[in-house]
Amino acid sequence: MHFGKKSQIHHHTSFRLCFEGSSVSVNRIEQLKLHSEVAELISSKTKSIFEALVQRNYADCDHMFAVLLIIEWLGGVLTAFLVSPTSWEGVSSNTHIHVMLSIWLGMAIIILPVGLAWFYSGKALTRQTIAVAQTLMTALIIHLCGGRLETHFLIFGSLTFLAFYADWRVLVTATVMTALDHIVRGVYLPFSVYGVTYPEPWRWVEHSSWVLFADVFLIRKCVLDMREKLRIAEKQAQMELTNQIIEEQVIERTEQVKQSEEKFRNLCSSVPTVIFESNADDGWEVIGLPWFQLTAAPIEKGKEWWTLVAESDRERTLDSWKQAVEKGSEWSQEFRIQTLSGVTKWIKAKAVPLTGKGDGKRQLIGTLEDVTDRKNAEENNRRILLMNQRDDFMAMLANDLKNPIVGANRILNLMAEGKLGKLETEQEQILTKIVEGNNELLRMIQHIISVYKYDRDSDIRASEHASVTSLIRDCAAKFQQHADAKKVKIELHLSESGDVGILGNSESLRVVIQNLLENALKYMPVGGTISLRAFRQGDRVMFEVNNSGSFIELDQRNKLFERPLTGEEDGSGYLPKVGLGLYMCRQIIDAHRGDIYCESDADGTTFTVSLPHVTSKETSFQPS
């Protein structure tokens, strides 16, 4: 619960004066004001709680009497049926008037108070109506029982039940109604109320006196109940006010603690370094929360800080630290650490001597700084420099080696064509072989440049829709003359449904197909068959190059797509001295998010390429 002046009270409770002299009277005035405001709040809250308690009691009693009146009505009907169900005139009988009276008069008595109890509970009108109805139902039951003296105890029971309201006005109403009932019926229907035809004239006074006697105690009980409710309300108000003040103080203290923690955290976070102090065992007493952010290790780990140092740097770093401690000299080192979260970081450590000790050792105090970003930047710069050097080398390779060979080929072609003089047949054959050798050398240089470019991912940036079947047909047509010369048959098994398209670089994929087809022809025996297949498999486009050439061992197949480190050939002929063709194919396929692999058995060798279909949800061509 909340109080209207709770913030003001809290301000007063936390207010303190620290002056002397006249401040005493000022403090007294403030205390009086505080007590007055607290008393006002308690009084207001007590009244609110008291009214709620009383109102809840009124409503509960209303509901109780609604049920009780219905039970009494049903009991009256049952009594009428049991005592005098019928009346006789000679041999004929009819329903006794008491039965009809119990049903209809009883219903008329209870219908209004029951309705008010359920729909207007807690109202003064409702409980006064219930008091009248309860008195009338008591009178009806006494009448149905023939005015028996025992049934008059129902009057005292009704008064006791009505005392549950703790409202003396309800008892007054019931008492007045009881007295009027005895007076009226005692005159006109004495048998109904007293059970005799000629009662004494003063009998209603006797009965009313007993009711008043009971009222004295019941009214006192009502007053005591109200006082008890008031006392409970006052205690509850004091408790709620105290709890509210305590809660506000707790909230304020908690907020102050949070603010202090936040200030301390911000202060520690604003310091980019870890502060440490040496101890007698060459360990560190770490100061500052950034230690955990740096190492992901508890502060106690600083006593064995060298266990976090990377093994390759540990001996060097620890030796230099021990020497600095022994000599009391400055210490500066850069080393790597392995954090408890598994991250490797570069650390720059600096320390200076602080105080001397009797054992010759000096205490050092220093800082640790995370320089991983700087080290990474230096490494990136070194790599960029290396890549620039490689670029320069490739430019030299393209210009200083490739261009002279191209120029020499032009001269050799002019000589072979006889434009520089007539040549003998043997001389023409020699020139032709020289030109072919130069072309092979140019192609080898081009392969080296292509592999470098694919490593850098610099020449396959734009993607386009490409038809695998069209590329295979073009490449097969290009190599058909070469195949005819070796009496090798090229068979095409291509899907004609148009669903073998991909998204990629056509020229790059053409290089792959040409390389695979060239290798198949190169190592194919005379009279063999090369089969080219293209088909759709799920969300992948597959194409295969199969020949009936030599068998490739498993250990050699595992090396086909690697960059060769030596110039030796393997037995299959698929790993030549330069051997960059298949490695370049793998680079191209990897850039297209595809896969390439080789299968070989006694019947031949098959190279299979798998690429994402053009309708795949993800982009199938993403240079890595």
Average pLDDT (466-490) is 87
Extents of the domains making up the chain: 6-11+23-238, 274-370, 377-453, 462-612
Q: In the predicted model, is pLDDT for residue 615 greater than 60?
A: no
What Å distances lie between residue 377 and 91, 337, 348, 390, 489, CA to CA?
125, 18, 15, 20, 57
* Residue 533 β-bridge partners: 493, 544
Q: In the predicted model, is pLDDT for residue 32 greater than 70?
A: no
CATH of domain 462-612: 3.30.565.10
Q: Under 8 Å CB-to-CB from 519, ≥6 apart: which residues?
A: 574, 581, 582
Asked if 276 and 367 touch (Cβ cutoff 8 Å), the reply is yes
The C-alpha atoms of residue 454 and residue 616 are separated, in whole angstroms, by: 24
Asked if 74 and 95 touch (Cβ cutoff 8 Å), the reply is no
Check residue 175 and give its pLDDT: 87
Question: What confidence tens digit (pLDDT) does each residue in 191-226 have?
Answer: 667 766 666 667 777 777 888 888 888 888 888 988
The DSSP-derived string for 342-402 is S-EEEEEEEEEEEEE-TTS-EEEEEEEEE-HHHHHHHHHHHHHHHHHHHHHHHHHIIIIII
The C-alpha atoms of residue 624 and residue 622 are separated, in whole angstroms, by: 6
Question: What confidence tens digit (pLDDT) does each residue in 118-148 have?
Answer: 999 889 899 899 989 988 888 888 777 776 7
Banded model confidence at residue 367, pLDDT cuts 50, 70, 90 = confident
Question: What confidence tens digit (pLDDT) does each residue in 88-113 have?
Answer: 343 344 555 667 777 788 888 889 99
* Fold adopted by 274-370: Beta-Lactamase (3.30.450)
